[in-house]
Structure 1
Amino acid sequence: MIKPRTKTPELEIELINGTTWKLSEQSPEHFTLILFYRGKHCPKCKEQLEEVQENIEKFSKRGINVIAISSDTESVAKETYKDWDINDIPLAYGFPIEEARKWGLFISSGIKKEPDFFTEPGLFLLDKEHEVYWESIQSMPFGRPSLRAILGGVDFILKENYPARGEA
């Protein structure tokens, strides 16, 4: 786990559009929202990311840049982008398991038709200095924070100038 008000590890990852996304180059108005998802095999991830897509304007209006990241291969990530309704979400692939551990993400070994190893869900809201403001890390695909709760939380944070919590 990375404590709030602490810088995250540097993150540089390939997007399915052929570009490289670098955390160090992000300069959102307020926050960067990183959604680590399990991969194409996960119906809960599809549900979550398609809900993000439906609300992408709400994130933009609040000054939040969004990215979704998995350990899937490039070809699987491109299939994901094609098959899921997530056209406005930058989609990254090939996140190394060793790097995932640095972020405090849970790692699972595959069962049935899952990849050999993959990350469990993680949500990181980073401030403009790329420090953790809010994080939610799951060990299961279930029980993720609702987007309504996230957006409502951000509204409160921005209105009240509420500080990151959990750093002590």
Structure 2
Amino acid sequence: MLIPRKEVPQIELNLINGTRWSLQAQESESFTMMVFYRGIHCPVCKKQLEELAGKLDEFSKRGVNVVAISSNTEELAKKTAEKWDIPELPLAYGLTISQAREWGLYVSNGISDKEPDQFTEPGLFFVKPDNTLYAASIQTMPFARPGFDDILNMVDYVTKNDYPARGEAEVAMITEMA
């Protein structure tokens, strides 16, 4: 389980433009936002990533580096870029199931011939420049994802108020004596 204020797993993946994306190499001013999406088969992902693509400048103004990541193959990731209106959005592909598990993502088995045999469910992570987790939203289903206007408002608030990452407390174990 990933814990806020603790280091996240390192990850390096290919991008559809022929380069390699590495979390360690990110030099964001505030955060790196990693948006894990289900894949080209998902119409909800299409809507989400098209919304994100339209707000890339807003994230950039706030010092947020953005990448969208899937377990799709290179061929499917390139087809995603061709068919969806996401021209400037960095698309990484080839996320393995073991990498997905390291990030705490849920994995689903395909239920139709339009879906891969296995793929990840959505997740959104904010990683600070020191590679520690700031915030995460992890889902078991494709529905009810956080809106990017809300996320931009969150970035504004937490940077203005130097708001710390939350959810970092360790649970004290209480043992009852019989």
After superposition, the CA RMSD in angstroms is 0.6
Aligned to 2:76: 76
Q: Name the counterpart of 2:39.
A: 39
Show structure 1 runs of 5+ residues with no match.
none
**Structure 2, unpaired ranges of 5+:** 170-178
1:154 corresponds to which residue?
A: 155
Give the letter for the 2:120 counterpart: T
Runs of 4+ in 1 over 3 A off after TM superposition: none
Q: Partner of 1:25: helix, strand, or coil?
A: coil
Q: What is the match of residue 94 of structure 1?
A: 94
Give identity over the alignment, percent. Answer: 56
Q: Based on CA coordinates, which of the two structures has the bigger radius of gyration? A: 2
* Separation (CA, whole Å) in 1 of partners of 2:154 and 2:123: 17
Q: Write the distance in 2 (CA, Å) between the matches of 1:102 and 1:135.
A: 13
What amino acid is the match of 1:29? E
Q: Does 1:106 align with 2:126?
A: no
Partner of 1:55: 55
SS in 1 for 2:52: helix
What is the total number of aligned residue pairs between the two structures?
Answer: 168
| TM-score of the superposed pair, with normalisation by structure 1 | 0.99
- Counterpart residue number, 1:117: 118
Question: Corresponding residue for 1:18?
Answer: 18
TM-score computed with the length of structure 2 as normaliser: 0.93
Following superposition, the deviation at residue 145 of structure 1 comes to: 0.7
Aligned residue for 2:173? none
Within-5 A mapping of 1:137-148: 137-148=138-149
Deviation, 1:143, is: 1.2
Distance (whole Å) between structure 1 residues aligned to residue 32 and residue 116 of structure 2: 28
CA distance in 2, matches of 1:55, 1:121: 19
- Residue 6 of structure 1: how far off its partner (Å): 1.1
**Could you tell me how far apart the structure 1 residues matched to 2:157 and 2:128 are?**
15
